[in-house]
Amino acid sequence: MFTGIITGRGEVRAITPLGAGRDMLLTIGAPWPDTAEIALGASIAHSGCCLTVIERGPDWFSVQASAETLSKTTMGSWVVGTQINLERALKVGDELGGHIVSGHVDGVGTVISATPENESVRWRFRAPDTLARYIAAKGSIAIDGVSLTVNEVDGPEFGVNIIPHTATATGFGQMKPGDAVNLEIDMLARYVARLAEFQ
């Protein structure tokens, strides 16, 4: 489990096809000073995608992504040099600064626009139609692993505000209209909607 509070930015250093070439081994340059403390088998969220650490070195670690993960997230378009948001798994007793994030991406959205608004930037996104009903104004959403509060919703489109600190600490500083993003809807919204189907 994660909180959606990004703890570092990493870079894809190598991508190695596995098996028939549909699965991939990704080597990630780590932003943390001591990767020796990352246990093999640990979970790390990569721009919102929870992946398991299977190797590590002095300033890097490797994870394996299945063809399913690559096809359902933005990971399928990553190349060497791609910058990604990283978050280590939540530990008991850690501060819960964002919201509960599972690291299971629900779908890929698209950046529509970014408009300066006072000291922040208002970003608008389009979600897949299948996810739109789970997104509510003042509810939570994870975008590329970043925990954010939804400002407004208009059908499949929704907006969030990004302050300068968040833009600097995450990929929002390089994001632009037309980019694809990983979306994870609020876990509570998912289960409330599922329960409502049985009413």
Q: Which fold has domain 107-196?
A: Elongation Factor Tu (Ef-tu); domain 3 (2.40.30)
The whole-number pLDDT of residue 33 equals: 86
pLDDT above 90: residue 190? no
Cα 128 from chain centre: 16
145: left (phi over 0), alpha (psi -120 to 50) or beta: left
Residue entry with tokens 């509070």: 5
Mean pLDDT of 55-66: 96
Residues 106 and 103: their CA atoms lie apart, in Å, by 9
Q: Which fold has domain 8-88?
A: Elongation Factor Tu (Ef-tu); domain 3 (2.40.30)
The whole-number pLDDT of residue 19 equals: 80
pLDDT above 90: residue 94? no
pLDDT tens, residue by residue, 116-139: 999 999 999 999 999 998 999 999
Whole-prediction pTM: 0.93
The whole-number pLDDT of residue 93 equals: 76
